């Protein structure tokens, strides 16, 4: 009997029995724990190449999503993206045709302005190669959309140069541009509908210059009537709007040309060829209400 167990009365013996049972129970639990500890596998050692584990307190959180970078162009999707891609392909094909035809028309930055002004595909039309191998300059070079530049070049090459040679027997040297891109209302009237000039879709012609230095005003009643009639007929075939003397009182000293799109393909050709035999040049008519001027 262990030395701490007491001898004596029955109560004492009962207490000793209880203490002996408790000691046995603790010894048994300790033995079971030792057995379980030996049976439980220890975690494998961390590989040497992995390096020491960073304490949780110093581990870095995953990087936050960065906001959109300022100045980066928005890439459209859906129908707008398809339309933009199609317009880009059309403009690219137009520039290739200009180059192949010997038309000098370098790209310029997109034109932008308030109220719908501007053009994303603008060029500066500097010169046009004609059939005899020479070239015709535009002075100053108009800033127009690529499609307008292509139409102007075709008109100059196929019709204006030939008309000048037939009427004067002298090659065409240049065409004077009175106005091209200009963000404004029609006829520079405040509050008027935006002009095709504001869309880089128009040019005003004042004179043609020949290689001998002769300048011929396209609205001069004294100039060759045949020449002016050929210009009017061909211009009305190439452009959707032609406004000259007699149209609205705003185009007596120049001719306006544009490629405005209208419902059902409607075209406007208003250019009176004055008779050189008239004693006095005709006065401009009062501008009628709703005139299609530009």
- The share of the chain scoring above pLDDT 90, in percent, equals 57
* pLDDT beneath 50: ranges in the chain: 1, 3-8, 11, 14, 17, 19, 22-23, 26-30, 32-37, 39-40, 49-78, 279, 282
pTM: 0.67
Extract the tokens encoding 70: 């300022």
Q: Round to whole Å and give the CA distance between 213 and 241.
A: 30
Extract the tokens encoding 79: 């129908």
pLDDT tens-digit readout, 83-93: 567 777 888 99
Q: Round to whole Å and give the CA distance between 152 and 205.
A: 11
Secondary structure of 202-260 in HEC code, one letter for each residue: EEEEEEEEECCCCEEECCCCCCCHHHHHHHHHHHHHHCCEEECCCCCCCCCCCEEEECC
Q: Round to whole Å and give the CA distance between 215 and 153.
A: 20
Q: Round to whole Å and give the CA distance between 75 and 87.
A: 15
Q: Say what the pLDDT of residue 98 is.
A: 96
Q: Say what the pLDDT of residue 286 is.
A: 53
Using DSSP bridges, classify how beta strands 127-129 and 135-139 pair: parallel, antiparallel or unpaired: antiparallel
DSSP for 56-71 reads GGGPPPPPPPPPPPTT
Q: Round to whole Å and give the CA distance between 222 and 174.
A: 20
Per DSSP, helices labelled H in the chain are 10-39, 79-100, 146-155, 161-168, 225-238
Extract the tokens encoding 233: 């007929």
Classify 97 as helix, strand or coil. helix
Distances (CA, A) of 131 to 158, 173, 234, 259: 8, 13, 17, 24
Q: What are phi and psi of 151, to 5 degrees?
A: -70, -40
Q: Say what the pLDDT of residue 90 is.
A: 86
pLDDT tens-digit readout, 6-52: 444 554 554 554 545 544 554 444 454 444 445 445 555 555 544 44
Question: 148 with 105: CB under 8 angstroms?
Answer: no
Q: Say what the pLDDT of residue 189 is.
A: 81
């Amino acid at each position: 009997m262990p030395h701490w167990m007491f001898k004596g009365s029955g109560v004492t013996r009962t207490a000793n029995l209880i203490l002996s049972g408790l000691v046995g129970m603790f010894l048994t639990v300790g033995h079971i724990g030792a057995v379980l500890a030996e049976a439980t596998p220890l975690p494998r050692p961390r590989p040497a190449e992995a390096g020491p584990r960073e304490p949780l307190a110093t581990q870095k959180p995953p990087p936050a999503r960065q906001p959109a970078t300022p100045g980066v162009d928005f890439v459209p999707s859906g129908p707008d993206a398809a339309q933009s891609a199609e317009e880009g392909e059309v403009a690219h094909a137009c520039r290739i045709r200009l180059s192949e035809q010997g038309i000098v028309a370098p790209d310029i930055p997109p034109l932008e302005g308030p109220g719908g002004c501007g053009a994303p595909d603008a060029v500066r039309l500097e010169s046009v190669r004609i059939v005899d191998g020479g070239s015709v300059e535009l002075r100053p070079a108009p800033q127009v959309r690529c499609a307008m530049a292509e139409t102007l070049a075709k008109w100059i090459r196929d019709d204006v140069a030939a008309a000048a040679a037939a009427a004067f027997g002298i090659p065409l040297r240049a065409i004077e541009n009175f106005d091209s891109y200009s963000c404004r209302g029609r006829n520079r009237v405040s509050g008027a509908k935006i002009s095709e000039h504001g869309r880089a879709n128009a040019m005003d012609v004042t004179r043609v210059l020949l290689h001998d230095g002769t300048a011929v005003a396209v609205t001069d009643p004294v100039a060759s009537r045949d020449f002016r009639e050929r210009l009017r007929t061909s211009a009305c075939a190439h452009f959707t709007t032609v406004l000259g003397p007699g149209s609205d009182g705003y185009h007596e000293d120049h001719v306006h040309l544009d490629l405005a799109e209208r419902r059902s393909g409607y075209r406007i050709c208003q250019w009176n060829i004055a008779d050189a035999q008239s004693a006095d040049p005709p006065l401009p008519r009062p501008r009628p209400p709703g005139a299609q001027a530009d």
